[in-house]
Amino acid sequence: MKSGKCFRFVVVLLIVMLGGFLISGWTAKEDLRFVKSLGVGWNLGNTLEPYDLHFETSDPAIYETYWNNPITTKEMLQDIKQAGFSVLRIPVTWQDHMDDNLQVNEAWMDRVQQVVDYGLEAGFYVIINAHHDQWYYPDEENLPRAEEMMQALWRQIAHRFESYDERLMFESMNEPRLIGTDKEWGSGTPAARDVVNKLNVAFVETVRSAGGENAKRYLLLPAYCARAETAAFEGFYLPKGSRMILSVHLYTPYRFAQSSSGTDVFTPESPADTEAIDQLFSDLKRLFIDKKIPVIITEFGAVDKDNEQQRIIWANYILKKAKKLGISCLWWDAGGDAGKEISYSLYDRYTRTWRFPKLVQALVNR
């Protein structure tokens, strides 16, 4: 080859290689920008995820109201959107609605789709998941069955929603963990983390191959237990491709955010209160954001202890750090009986009123 032709060949080769790099880099940056644009969201908790009712029924309404919430209406979700929330996560449990051939009950799928449509019509970005499904217990012995269930379930979901655009996102699992063991709520074991990774791969491959808008749908993936644990994050494997988002939960510090008998005060100047939060965001930056992997905190919240102002201080501390990294945060709202234990609930679904309007304003006015 003559020197001139050789030179041109090298230049063309470099352009092709560089072009591929730029396209890949642009895609990753676009994913980060997408999540950054989402803002703050809200969970329709304890609604479509009840399971093990101890009696047989195929009526979706019985499941939807079993954990003390009313039937979800368009008007409820319009209230949430008008308050300023922009993302709606709809936790769904599927295992009680699948037959021996792993087919999802049509009435249940229809109801899930109806609530998704309510959310989209209200103007939300919407996330649906597999929430309390016990078939994804992450150990090697269970892996073949779990992969089979993962593929069967998400193939049906992906086909049902194949024409829905990027405003609808799928999340593979919720807090996949070794339930009932001493490793349940930590970072798990290397083997368990590996199984979670393999199930995430099965999920991504299934959705991507389902056709339609699924080829470019944003997919959310948890590490082991979706926990704020360094070892769980370091053991996480991101499948090949783009438009994938890490899903993580934040309920720290435990004594303030979760324990009903713990402290009702959060002090930003106290390392005892902030150390775990600071470590989480440091890990998210180092292991994900710096590598252009976007993150959504799909659940966060602090239980009510008649301390709205302290919860505002706590939420502001978290949201300031999240905003700096372009991380979207979704409040966990489990609803519940009016007049009874309020817990994390912000919105009374029976009266369609806000229980903690000042906290809501602090969340949405970022």
Catalytic residue numbers read 175, 299
User: Are the beta carbons of 302 and 342 closer than 8 angstroms?
Assistant: no
Placement of tokens 């009874």 in the chain: 340
| Alpha-carbon span 307 to 125, nearest angstrom | 30
- Integer CA distances (angstroms), 253 to 114, 271, 360, in order: 37, 11, 21
Q: Say which DSSP state 228 is in.
A: S
Q: Please state, in angstroms and rounded to a whole number, the distance separating the CA atoms of residues 197 and 186.
A: 17
Tokens representing 337 are 């009986």
Residue spans of alpha helices (H) in 54-134: 60-65, 74-83, 106-122
Can you tell me whether residue 332 is helix, strand or coil? coil
The dihedral through the CA atoms of 94, 220, 321, 235 has a sign that is: positive
**Contacts (Cβ under 8 Å, ≥6 apart) of 95:** 51, 132, 133, 134, 135
